[in-house]
């Protein structure tokens, strides 16, 4: 009997045709508004589920999230309590987010925003820019969250001859990129030792507002803060306070607690801050990898093999 697969996300849609190569499945693409029409016959759902979906899809056995982050589980308690399997696209975003992280860092250390502002004004002045430009070679990068995103960032930072530190909910020994991944209990220590702090952890109850004002004060005054995983982990007002007081050399923020970022947010006017609109994960190869992960999981599901990227729904990652 054919499995009914409902695709409600546009993530990877240019490569949905790859799913046609999987036998024994019937693929339906729909908008979120049309989900109720198809949900009762759906066996497998691709996208971000809602509580309504769980209530109207009695045949649902497995949800493939179209993103790596699955913070939506917090708003769908019926999913957590159910037998429905949840998988994500962990691993698809590492290369693009790794590159975006370095792009933000290099833009700050090489004074690219200031130079572009001078270009806009047709003004040529080296002065302070020349004397304060920095190399990232030899700097220490501290990474909060050493999953697929953190490793993608770390491998690229290592290639730039940076030193690496990392903390994660799962302390790991013997990582090839660094000697040891520290437990989160050592976060403040990592912050105090890092020249660059990168936030690449998922948003969970345990990471929400983890980088609060006290933690941000632990970061070196000449260090940079880069946030590329999810908003809500960093206290944005505390970041602005640190930038305005000179307690941070700069910040690059790709994700915010509220998106789109409200016009009244203080982030818009903060000094030495680069804002990008949740672009870190964007690339055509990433779009293909997302669908390839789903395709591989469809084949595994049919064969009764373990699925890739199964999420612990109670933990949210």
110, 278, 288, 300: the active-site residue: 278
> 108 to each of 191, 198, 250, 261, 274, how far by Cα in Å?
19, 14, 7, 21, 8
Contacts of 65 (CB under 8 A, 6+ apart): 47, 48, 72, 86, 87, 88, 89, 311
Answer yes or no: 264 catalytic.
no
71, 230, 236, 289: the active-site residue: 230
Q: Residue 172's pLDDT is what? A: 75
Residue in 254, 210, 211, 206 with CA at minimum distance from that of residue 230:
254
Contacts of 234 (CB under 8 A, 6+ apart): 199, 209, 210, 211, 216, 225, 227, 253
Alpha-carbon torsion (300, 43, 30, 149), positive or negative? negative
Q: Residue 298's pLDDT is what? A: 97
Question: What is d(CA 245, CA 21) in angstroms, rounded to the nearest whole number?
Answer: 57
Ramachandran angles phi, psi of 141, nearest 5°: -100, 125
304 token code pair: 């009764």
Q: Residue 216's pLDDT is what? A: 98
Answer yes or no: 300 catalytic.
no
Q: Residue 1's pLDDT is what? A: 67
The domains of the chain are located at 3-91+284-303, 94-275
Task: Name the CATH topology of 94-275.
Answer: Rossmann fold (3.40.50)
Give CATH superfamily name and number for 3-91+284-303: NAD(P)-binding Rossmann-like Domain (3.40.50.720)
Please name every residue paired with 7 in a beta bridge, in sequence order, or none if there are none: 29, 46
Question: What is d(CA 292, CA 22) in angstroms, rounded to the nearest whole number?
Answer: 11
Q: Residue 171's pLDDT is what? A: 72
> Are the CB atoms for 195 and 161 separated by under 8 Å?
no
Answer yes or no: 230 catalytic.
yes
pLDDT tens, N- to C-terminus, the chain (317 residues): 689 999 999 999 999 999 999 999 999 999 999 999 999 999 999 999 999 999 999 999 999 999 999 999 988 999 999 999 999 999 999 999 999 999 999 999 999 999 999 999 999 999 999 999 999 999 999 999 999 999 999 999 999 999 999 999 987 777 889 888 999 999 999 999 999 999 999 999 999 999 999 999 999 999 999 999 999 999 999 999 999 999 999 999 999 999 999 999 999 999 999 999 999 999 999 999 999 999 999 999 999 999 999 999 988 88
């Amino acid at each position: 009997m054919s499995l009914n697969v409902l695709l409600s996300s546009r993530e990877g849609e240019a490569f949905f045709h790859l799913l046609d190569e999987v036998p024994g499945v019937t693929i339906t693409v729909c908008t979120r508004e049309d989900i109720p029409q198809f949900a009762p016959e759906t066996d497998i759902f691709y996208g971000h589920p809602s509580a309504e979906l769980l209530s109207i899809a009695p045949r649902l056995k497995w949800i493939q999230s179209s993103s790596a982050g699955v913070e939506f589980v917090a708003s769908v308690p019926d999913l957590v309590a159910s037998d429905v399997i949840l998988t994500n696209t962990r691993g698809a975003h590492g290369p693009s987010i790794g590159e975006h992280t370095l792009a933000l860092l290099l833009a700050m250390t090489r004074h690219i925003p200031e130079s572009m502002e001078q270009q806009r004004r047709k003004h040529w002045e080296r002065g302070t820019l020349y004397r304060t430009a920095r190399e990232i070679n030899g700097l220490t990068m501290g990474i909060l969250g050493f999953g697929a995103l953190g490793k993608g960032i770390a491998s690229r930072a290592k290639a730039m001859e940076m030193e690496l530190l990392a903390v994660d909910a799962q302390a790991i020994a013997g990582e090839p990129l660094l000697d040891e991944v520290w437990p989160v209990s050592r976060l403040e220590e990592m912050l105090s030792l890092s020249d660059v702090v990168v936030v690449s952890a998922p948003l969970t109850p345990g990471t929400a507002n983890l980088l609060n004002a006290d933690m941000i004060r632990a970061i070196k005054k000449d260090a940079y803060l880069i946030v590329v995983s999810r908003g809500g982990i960093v206290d944005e007002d505390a970041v602005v306070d640190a930038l305005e007081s000179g307690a941070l050399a700069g910040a690059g923020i790709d994700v915010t607690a509220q998106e789109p970022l409200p016009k009244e947010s203080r982030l818009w006017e903060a000094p030495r801050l680069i804002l990008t609109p949740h672009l870190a994960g964007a690339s055509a190869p990433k779009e293909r990898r997302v669908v390839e992960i789903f395709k591989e999981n469809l084949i595994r599901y049919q064969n009764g093999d373990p699925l890739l990227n199964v999420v612990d729904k109670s933990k949210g990652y």
